[in-house]
Amino acid sequence: MPTNVKSSRFAQIVAWVAASIFVLGNFNATVGAWSGSILPLWFAGTQKPRRGFLWLLAISFLPGLLFGWRKIPLTGLDAALSYLGWALAAAVLGVLPFTFHRLLSPRLPGSLATLPFPLAAVAIPSLALALHVHAVSEIGLDRFFILWFAAVIVWLWNQESRATSPVFAAGCVFAAGCEIFRPYSGVALPINLLSSTTFSWICLGAALSLAVWAFFHPVQQRSWANRPQTIARLQSPFTGEPLQVVSDKGREALVSSSGERFPVRNGIPAFLKPEDLTGDNGKYNHLYETIGGFYDDTQRVFAAFRGLDVDSYFENYMNLLKVKAGDSVLETCVGTGLNFKYLPHGVKLSGLDLSAEMLANGLVNLRRWKMDADLYLGNAECLPFADSSFDVVYTCGGFNFFSDRAKAVREMIRVAKPGGHLMIEDETEEYVKSTYQNIPYTSSFYKDRKDAVTVPIDLVPPEMEDTHVEMLKEGKFYAITFRKPAAGLE
């Protein structure tokens, strides 16, 4: 049974207060000193390291040039170039701590993940000073707490407020509070007894130690060789041949007897052909490759501003699925795996998606939620699974804009076991028009659509059983549920 989406006033108030603080930070230097690093640090974490570095560099360097062009010395080309060079060097040094944090933080356990940013933000300018790069000024001890506070806030947000160490989180916020009120209270933290230079060297040593530790403790990827049951239900999506695992210099791949080779990258087998990224699939894939890093956060922030309870938002359609412990479940268009959290424990989870970026963030989610799932890069219209592999097959949120929706439904039915439950859930035309077509970035993807969205009930073959359409969230979403006949299909 679908539930009503519950409201959450508390989340809504917190969202508006937080937004107000960020806006205030642009006008008030004290507030800005505390809030100013939080958004860039969050943003760096949502991007691939190089792309994040370039974006932050552009954001910190170009506006300065645009608004401060009068400061550029016009006494000669050399002077102007020298000024620009130093300005660029200062911007690079300012962005490096964010990139260092992006590279290191995901590899560090628990609350240690908060340290790379403040350590690097103290160490890098000090090192630059020691090397006589005078484009920067030394960062004082106070800044460490301010930046550490930013890292803790972003870490708590990424942990969905489930701090692995509440004592640490409370301690950090307390230390930050002492720093904020120090000018008024005269309370000095013991750290202030250290000289800036000593403290900088300590930070440099600590940052390097963390980097070395992370280098020797890479994130372990699961091996496919020791999962014979999973491999047994895989097949080439193009020839239907069974697959087996081979390993070459530590790199795994799935191969078929006719020589097809599907590489396993970062623990995810890739079943895509270039043709899979043509038509609508290619167009929307570009969208998800770009927004994959902050897809989850956008959902959380939108829900909070609108005062919606996030869990009941997902339960609204996930409760329509009939899943029991022990079932094998496949979600096509799994994205970052957000729906997995709403399935019962003890379910064998598989997910497939066209976007490598969404899946990469899905792996991070699974580690964070301590869940296990097999993820695949592939096209929902051409599934890499043998017939009758899953007890439950469903798709949420991607179906409307597949290049070939009828083929995708046939594939879902093929891989479902006889008697298996299926669900197709997506947005209605009303939602696409009122939301996606009104958001500046997404509107460009949706404005030249050939057809309006219709509930695709005509694509469900008449021989399916218990076919049912449910309109959800005041008609903004539809969900079609049905069952593959237990006697199998002709």
Ligand X SMILES: C[S@@+](CC[C@H](N)C(=O)[O-])C[C@H]1O[C@@H](n2cnc3c(N)ncnc32)[C@H](O)[C@@H]1O
Q: Is 338 a residue that touches ligand X (CB under 6 A)? A: yes
Helix (H, G, I), strand (E, B) or coil at 333: coil
Part in contact with ligand X (CB under 6 A); list of ranges 13-21, 215-223, 391-399, 454-462: 391-399
394 counts as binding ligand X under rule CB under 6 A: no
Contact between 470 and 418 (Cβ < 8 Å): no
Residue 327 binds ligand X, judged by CB under 6 A: no
- Whichever of 144 and 295 has its CB closer to ligand X, that residue is 295
- Cα separation values, 230 from 318, 367, 386, Å: 24, 20, 11
Smallest separation (angstroms) from ligand X to the CB of 162: 20
What are the distances in angstroms from CA 114 to CA 9, 164, 202, 242?
Answer: 30, 12, 16, 45
What is the footprint of ligand X within residues 105-134 (CB under 6 A)? none
First to last CA, the chain: 31
Classify each residue of 320-329 as buried b or exposed e, where b means 16 or more C-beta atoms within 10 Å of its C-beta.
bbebeeebbb
Residues 113, 396, 432, 453: which binds ligand X (CB under 6 A)? 396
Q: Which residue in 316, 339, 365, 428 binds ligand X (CB under 6 A)?
A: 339
* Segment interacting with ligand X (CB under 6 A) among 25-33, 80-88, 191-199, 396-404: 396-404
As measured in angstroms, the least distance from the Cβ of 397 to ligand X is: 3
**Contacting residue, 252, 309, 315, 353, with ligand X by CB under 6 A:** 353
Between 150 and 343, whose beta carbon lies closer to ligand X? 343
Interaction of residue 397 with ligand X, rule CB under 6 A: yes
146, two tokens = 């301010």
296-299, long-range: CB < 8 A, 24+ apart = 296/336, 296/338, 296/361, 296/365, 297/42, 297/46, 297/157, 299/338
**Amino acid letter at 149?**
F
Does 92 participate in binding ligand X (rule CB under 6 A)?
no
- Mark the segment that binds ligand X (CB under 6 A) among 85-93, 106-114, 264-272, 334-342: 334-342
Among 354, 423, 479, 480, binds ligand X (CB under 6 A): 354
Residues 323, 341: Cα–Cα separation, whole Å: 13
Rg (Cα) of the chain, in Å, rounded?
26
Residue that the structure tokens 């197709």 belong to: 424
d(CA 342, CA 334): 13
Of residues 37 and 350, the one with the C-beta less far from ligand X:
350
- Find the binder of ligand X among 44, 333, 392, 472 (CB under 6 A): 333
**Minimum separation from the CB atom of position 335 to ligand X (A):** 3
Cα–Cα distance measured from residue 65 to residue 82, given in angstroms and rounded to the nearest whole number: 14
* Ordered strands of the 244-248 beta sheet: 244-248, 251-255, 261-265, 268-269
Judged by CB under 6 A, which of 25, 237, 398, 420 binds ligand X? 398
- Say if CB 227 and CB 236 are below 8 A apart: no
Q: How many residues bind ligand X (CB under 6 A)?
A: 20
**Cβ 97 to ligand X, closest distance in Å?**
31
The least distance separating ligand X from the CB of residue 123, rounded to whole angstroms, comes to 38
* Selected binder of ligand X within 145, 402, 446, 478 (CB under 6 A): 402
Contact status: 281 vs ligand X (CB under 6 A): yes
Interface region with ligand X, contact rule CB under 6 A, candidates 25-33, 101-109, 209-217, 397-405: 397-405
Q: Of 416, 400, 240, nearest to 327 (Cα)? A: 416
For ligand X, the binding residues (CB under 6 A) are: 281, 284, 288, 332-335, 338-339, 353-355, 358, 379-381, 396-398, 402
